[in-house]
C-alpha cells in the first residue's frame, strides 16, 4: 500500500539522517526553549500561575486581558518561527541536498515567510470549506451531521492534496494550489491509509511514553522530548515525500 510506503519512507528519511536531523533541529529547539523561559520570567505567565486561581485573578486585575493573551501571542510566535526554521531547513536538506554545515542551520527569512504564507492559504481554504458545512449542520440537523462527517474525510484529503505547496515554498519553487491538486489526482485512498497509519503510530508512541513516565520519570521525560522531535521530522518528511513523489515524480524510496 502506497500510504504505508510513504510513512515508512518518511521514517527512514529521519533515521538514516539522524546526525543531520540533530544538526538541523537541536540548536533551534534549544533557542526556542530559552526564549520561552525568558518570556515566562518577563511576563510572569507560567504553568504554575495558570493553575493558581488567585495568581490569575491578580494578573487579570493588574494587567487586564492583555496580561493573559499577550504572553500567549509571544509564545505562539516563538513556537511558529522555530518550527518553520526547522521545517524549511529539513525540506531543503532532503530535496536540494543542502547539508547543514554547522550546528545552527541558516535562517532563511524569505523561505520561512513564504512557507507561512502558503500554510495560511491552506487554512483559509479550509475555513471557506467549513463555513457552508457548519451552516448545513445548523439548518439540516441530523442530515447536516452526516454532511459534517463526510466533510471531515474530505478535509483530510484536501489538506494532503495541497501540502506539496509547503515544500515548494521552502525550496523556492513556484507551485500553485491548482497544480498541487492536479499533481495529487487519484491519491485520496493513499491519503486515508497514510492518516490511519500516522494515527496508530502516534497512539502507540504515546502509550510507550506514558509507560516510561510511570516506570522511570526522568527517562520518560527525555524519551517524550525525543519522540516529539522525531515525529515532528517524520511528519514534515511526509510533506517532503508528497512533493518529491507527486510533483517531481521521484520513486518512493529513492
In which element (H, E) is residue 137 found? helix 109-140
Number of compact structural domains in the chain: 1
Domain coverage including residue 71:
2-247
Give CA–CA dist 120/190, Å, rounded. 25
pLDDT tens digits, one per residue of 181-236? 999 888 888 999 998 999 998 888 888 878 877 776 766 677 777 777 788 888 89
Q: What does the pLDDT read at residue 58? A: 58
Sign of CA dihedral 151, 156, 157, 158: positive
Q: Which residues of 194-229 are buried (b: 16+ CB within 10 A; e: fewer)?
A: bbebbeeeeeebeeebeebeeeeeeebeebbeebeb
Binned at pLDDT 50, 70 and 90, residue 138 comes out as confident
Residue 90 inside a domain? The answer is: yes
Domain-located, residue 200: yes
In a domain, 253, yes or no: no
Residue reference for cell 515544500 = 167
Residue 254 lies in a domain: no
Q: What is the pLDDT of residue 44?
A: 61
Share of the chain above pLDDT 70, in %: 83
Specify if 49 maps to a domain. yes
Span 139-167, mean pLDDT?
80
The predicted pLDDT at position 120 comes to 93
**Residues near 208 by beta carbon (within 8 Å), at least 6 away in sequence:** 223, 227
Read off the pLDDT of each residue in 147-174 and give the average, rounded to a whole number.
86
- Find the range with the poorest average confidence among 3-7, 111-115, 145-149, 183-187: 145-149
pLDDT at 144: 65
**Grid coordinates standing for 162?**
495541497
Torsion, Cα 253 93 250 158, to 10 degrees, reads 100
24 touches 89 (CB < 8 A): yes
pLDDT digits (tens, 9 = 90+) for 90-109: 999 999 988 988 888 999 99
162 lies in a domain? yes
| Segment 163-181 mean pLDDT | 92
Is position 252 within any domain? no
In a domain, 185, yes or no: yes
Amino acid at each position: 500500500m502506497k500510504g504505508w510506503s510513504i510513512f515508512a519512507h518518511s521514517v527512514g528519511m529521519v533515521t538514516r539522517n539522524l546526525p543531520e536531523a540533530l544538526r538541523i533541529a537541536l540548536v533551534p529547539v534549544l533557542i526556542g526553549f530559552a526564549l520561552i523561559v525568558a518570556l515566562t520570567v518577563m511576563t510572569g505567565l507560567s504553568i504554575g500561575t495558570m493553575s493558581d486561581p488567585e495568581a490569575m485573578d491578580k494578573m487579570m486585575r493588574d494587567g487586564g486581558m492583555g496580561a493573559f493573551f499577550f504572553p500567549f501571542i509571544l509564545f505562539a510566535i516563538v513556537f511558529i518561527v522555530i518550527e518553520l526554521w526547522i521545517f524549511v531547513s529539513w525540506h531543503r536538506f532532503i530535496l536540494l541536498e543542502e547539508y547543514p554545515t554547522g550546528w545552527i542551520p541558516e535562517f532563511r527569512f524569505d523561505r520561512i515567510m513564504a512557507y507561512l504564507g502558503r500554510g495560511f492559504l491552506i487554512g483559509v481554504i479550509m475555513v471557506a470549506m467549513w463555513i457552508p458545512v457548519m451552516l448545513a449542520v445548523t439548518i439540516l440537523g441530523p442530515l447536516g451531521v452526516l454532511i459534517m462527517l463526510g466533510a471531515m474525510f474530505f478535509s483530510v484529503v484536501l489538506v494532503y492534496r495541497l501540502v506539496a505547496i509547503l515544500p515548494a515554498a521552502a525550496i523556492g519553487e513556484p507551485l500553485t494550489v491548482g497544480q498541487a491538486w492536479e499533481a495529487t489526482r487519484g491519491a485520496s485512498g493513499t491519503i486515508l491509509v497514510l492518516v490511519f497509519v500516522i494515527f496508530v503510530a502516534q497512539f502507540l508512541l504515546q502509550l510507550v511514553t506514558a509507560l516510561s513516565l510511570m516506570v522511570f520519570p526522568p527517562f520518560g521525560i527525555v524519551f517524550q522530548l525525543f519522540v516529539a522531535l522525531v515525529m515532528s521530522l517524520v511528519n514534515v518528511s511526509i510533506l517532503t515525500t508528497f512533493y518529491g513523489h507527486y510533483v517531481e515524480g521521484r520513486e518512493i524510496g529513492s
